[in-house]
Amino acid sequence: MRWRSSLSPLWALSALTPSVRADYSLEVAYQGDTFFNGWNFYGNRDNLTNGAVYYVAESESSDVAYTNSAGNVIIKVDNETTIASGTTNALRNSVRITTKDTYDIGSLFVMDALHVPYGCATWPAFWVKAKEWPSGGELDIYESVNMQQNQIALHTVTGCFASNETTNSTATGSMTYNNCAYNVAANHGCTFEDSRNSSFGEGLAAVGGGLYVAELASDGISVWWFPRSQVPLDLRAVNATPDPRSWSLPTAYYPSSSCNINQYFAPQQITINIALCGSWAGEPGVFSPSCGTGSCADYVLDPSHFDEAYFEIASVRVYSGGLNTRSSSGVAAASGVIGAIGGSDSATSRGERAWSVGRVGALAVVVGMLGVGVLWTGF
């Protein structure tokens, strides 16, 4: 809803009562036979992380990207082609897809996965990033290499941090690095690890999978992993109206107090991909010794190594209706009024959010000589 008004200053200011945000509502669900209609295939070798894969074009994807008999989407690495020993720059077919649409702050991203890729040399990810990177930010919701646990990360330009005050009262994961800047520590990102066996690899498949969920809101970014048996009631149906305020603590939490979400994050595209080897999974000390003494490049030659290197996905969903105050971020003249009403970028505590009645959409107040103009968005 969007409306403008030219009211007398006193009347307008008295009308600035915060409105309760409605629960999220479904914007789009990618699933079943039409899943791939909303995605672009990369169609090139992995020239981004120097991985040992060729990301197929849509026209050549039928063996590695399809819907199975259960109606679930399979995204996989080729596990049939044997590559001759000694082949230079051997590349195995894989998939990297990115949504055609972008989704702004105030979005909730959900992947319902029954199986995720695992095994030596694999580097799968479910993530979102802006078209302009790194200025528009990146959020890695699920990412794992070889046999390691799930890692959640933000990657941004300089100035964004994970809060050093994040504790087990605000997130259940373990913070492993707090500087999100892409040009620090070889683009490590500010990271949380989820050590639960159910959140990655073979352990995820054993519990029937579950939901990876990320909330991109003006007051902070939160990421959850829900094993199948622990999925909240308001997330079980695709057309649900989820309310993150009623859920358990997230695995990772990035409050806007240490990373201004409006400043560091632009509208995001969703990407799902499976890399092999490359600048993380294939590094010495990462691939070896846990995956043997040979090289990652040699490991890729044998197709049987990748029998478990696939996503099985029931749906990828995006819900909208969350907190988005991007339109008020530049209204410096009225910042005092906005801050008093609840439209500032400062984050409330996790506890306050859990018990709050609702969060206010964006409110900007522009004071002029003839009156007060009011702009409401985001409800």
> Rounded CA gap, 249 and 310, in Å?
29
The number of CA neighbours under 13 Å toward the Cβ of 82 is: 2
Classified as helix, coil or strand, 36 is helix
Q: Is 305 helix (H, G, I), strand (E, B) or coil?
A: helix
Q: What are the residue numbers of the active site?
A: 138, 143
Paired strand residues for 74? 66, 312
* Residue 270 neighbours by CB under 8 Å, 6+ apart: 98, 99, 103, 109, 126, 127, 128, 316, 318
The 3-state secondary structure of 69-120, one letter per residue: CCCCEEEECCCCCCCCCCCCCCCEEECEEEECCCECCCEEEEEEEEECCCCC
For residue 95, what are its two tokens? 């998939």
d(CA 342, CA 66): 46
Locate 311 and state its tokens.
């996503």
SS3 (DSSP) at 210:
strand
Gap between the terminal Cα atoms of the chain: 7
Q: How many angstroms separate the CA atoms of 344 and 227, rounded?
A: 34
Distances (CA, A) of 89 to 11, 45, 83, 95, 367: 70, 11, 11, 18, 63
- Parallel/antiparallel/unpaired status of strands 310-320 and 25-30: antiparallel
DSSP class of residue 300 equals: T
Residue 49 CB neighbours (<10 A): 17
| Residue that the structure tokens 């197929």 belong to | 56
Q: Which amino acid is at 193?
A: E
304, two tokens: 């049987």
